[in-house]
Amino acid sequence: MLIPKVNGEWWTISGNPDLGNYTNGEQVPVDFGIWQAADGMWQLWSCINHTKCSGERRLFYRWQSEAIENVDWQPMGIAMMADSAYGERAGGLQSPYVIKHNDKYYMFYGTWDYISLAMSDEGKTFERHRDEDGYSRVVAEKNASNIRDPMVLKVQDTFYMYYTAVIADKAAIYCRTSSALHQWGPSTIVSSGGVPGNGSSSADSPFVLHKDGRYFLYRTHLAGGSEKFMVSLYVSPDPLNFGVNNRDKFLCSFPFEAPEIVHHRGQYYIATMLPGLDGTRIARLKFDHVSELAK
């Protein structure tokens, strides 16, 4: 079995941005999304936490680059802020993720209480979806105190949305399926407990990579009793089962957090937050046998 492994050195693509009136000495760039816009320019949108905006103090900031392997992408300013007219909690924007389908860009993002959707034709400016109540939401999880970190995987004609929800102070990774990106079926828990435990920060930033008939789940969580995060990697033949309250499909752990994987011109790339939570970095990814992981 071949599994993904970082290949070579990391390069930094963004730092801690100037937010103007919203700049705060405590702010940190956290979860992010990376994609290529219609004009070929690479886009990075990051959730900036602990800003001076109201409510939960989060907003989205944007960078762009002509090439994915460039360092220090160009800062483009604040990209989006929460809007109560769409049912979004003040300062509650979290973890943007973009998938392109039929020449349209779909951005899924957390709004603390829901997973919401915005769409774009060119992949740079997005217009929010509206449901029957005029809200941007597309997914809610009953009794969840926080629902966040969506990512969407397309396999044949089915879309899989993975996300984190916290219920009664216990986090798990959930999944819903769809054939239309604005309507989603019922949820099921696909990963919880096991090696990372089941605390409120035990199942963050899920990312699923599909390759050679296997599904690899990256699950971010606190490292033991510390305040530092790490990522555990799971593998399964079933996209809806990575182990619930067991470690049967656990492979190994890595000293980074909130990874996103991009496939471009035959090369896989992995992006994560910088260790000091002051920006974002990228490295190439290769596939090695399990026995090579420790090298």
Contacts of 188 (CB under 8 A, 6+ apart): 174, 175, 176, 240
pLDDT values of the chain reduced to their tens digit, one per residue, 295 residues: 788 999 999 999 999 999 999 999 999 999 999 999 999 999 999 999 999 999 999 999 999 999 999 999 999 999 999 999 999 999 999 999 999 999 999 999 999 999 999 999 999 999 999 999 999 999 999 999 999 999 999 999 999 999 999 999 999 999 999 998 999 999 999 999 998 999 999 999 999 999 999 999 999 999 876 668 999 999 999 999 999 999 999 999 999 999 999 999 999 999 999 988 899 999 999 998 866 554 4
pLDDT tens-digit map of 137-162: 999 999 999 999 999 999 999 999 99
Contacts of 192 (CB under 8 A, 6+ apart): 170, 171, 172, 173, 198, 202, 203, 244, 245
Long-range contacts of residues 269-274, Cβ cutoff 8 Å, at least 24 apart: 269/68, 270/4, 270/6, 271/13, 271/32, 271/34, 273/29, 273/30, 273/31, 273/32, 274/12
Q: Give the pLDDT confidence score for residue 276 in this predicted structure.
A: 87
How far is Cα 171 from Cα 37, in angstroms, rounded to an integer? 33
Closest to 201 (Cα-Cα) out of 276, 149, 160: 149
How far is Cα 173 from Cα 169, in angstroms, rounded to an integer? 13
How far is Cα 267 from Cα 135, in angstroms, rounded to an integer? 38
Instruction: State the chain's maximal CA–CA distance in angstroms.
Output: 54
Q: What is the DSSP letter of 60?
A: E
Domain spans of the chain? 2-292
Q: Give the pLDDT confidence score for residue 294 in this predicted structure.
A: 43
pLDDT tens-digit map of 244-272: 999 999 999 999 999 999 999 999 999 99
Q: Give the pLDDT confidence score for residue 295 in this predicted structure.
A: 42
Cβ neighbours of 134 (radius 10 Å) = 10
What phi and psi values does residue 88 have, to the nearest 5 degrees?
-95, 135
How far is Cα 36 from Cα 110, in angstroms, rounded to an integer? 21
Superfamily of domain 2-292: Glycosyl hydrolase domain; family 43 (2.115.10.20)
Lookup: tokens for 10: 């990391």
